[in-house]
Amino acid sequence: MNPAFYDITLTISDTLITWPADPAVSIRKTNMISRGDEWNLSELKFSSHCGTHIDAPYHFDENGITVDQIPLDSLIGNATVYDVKNKEKINVEDLESLKIGNCDRIIFKTINSTYWKRPTFIKEFVYITKEAAVYLADRKIKLVGIDYLSVDKFDDMYADAHHILLKKGIIIIEGLDLSMVKPGDYELIALPLKIKNNDGSPARVVLKKNARYLNDI
């Protein structure tokens, strides 16, 4: 039987792949019952953009809203997963062929989802071009998700897609694991930690099945 919910969140651990310039994940047991302590307690150290995470507009815009200010109706609601097959980038032509229509929340499944099984960071991940970001921003979408650690090309020093989307108030989810998810319509639940005045946060992201699916997109 197919599950009603899909947890598309990466597990945070000491072996989690991170962006090369970001600090590695560190999870240290400060108290352990097995060591004679009265309780178990851990110290967690990682980037605000660790694993499956949400980018707030403030990440690239000094005047943008912070992660604790993101409206819940941007993070919860109907979403469509589109499968972009055999591509090195997502461009305007791809978006036109997908017929995204009036979708509020769009999630791109690509070959990136297979990269989470690799032991090291992959630089040649599928990204969103500047032109495609403009196309999305013009349609007043609430949220865009992708299945690797950036919507921008690895060596794009200008981070065009980030700037274009976040400037329009479009929330970005990065680091999704869509390997077990088929294209189609879902309900998205994406909840970051409520960190005051912060640029982003790791999040638990779940898709709930809707009745209609978009197979063979």
Q: Residues 141, 147, 152, 154: what is their CA dihedral angle, to the nearest 10 degrees?
A: 180
Per-residue model confidence as pLDDT tens digits over 33-49: 999 999 999 999 999 99
Residue 107 located in a structural domain: yes
pLDDT at 83 over 90: yes
Band (pLDDT 50/70/90 cuts) for residue 121 is: very high
Residue 40 located in a structural domain: no
Residue 1 confidence (pLDDT)? 54
Band (pLDDT 50/70/90 cuts) for residue 210 is: confident
Residue 29 located in a structural domain: no
C-beta atoms surrounding 167 within 10 Å: 15
3-state SS class at 145 = strand
Band (pLDDT 50/70/90 cuts) for residue 99 is: confident
Residue 38 located in a structural domain: no
Per-residue model confidence as pLDDT tens digits over 5-15: 999 999 999 99
Residue 214 located in a structural domain: no
CATH number where 54 lies: 3.50.30.50
Residue 66 located in a structural domain: yes
Global pTM value = 0.93
- Looking at the structure of the chain, the number of domains it has is 1
Residue 22 located in a structural domain: no
Q: Which of 49, 59, 162, 163 is the catalytic position? A: 59
pLDDT at 214 over 90: no
Residue 42 located in a structural domain: no
The domain of 118 spans 5-12+47-209
Token digits for 155?
């060596």
Does residue 59 carry a catalytic annotation? yes
C-alpha separations of 114 from 35, 121, 148, 165 in Å: 39, 12, 10, 25
Residue 211 confidence (pLDDT)? 54
C-beta atoms surrounding 8 within 10 Å: 27
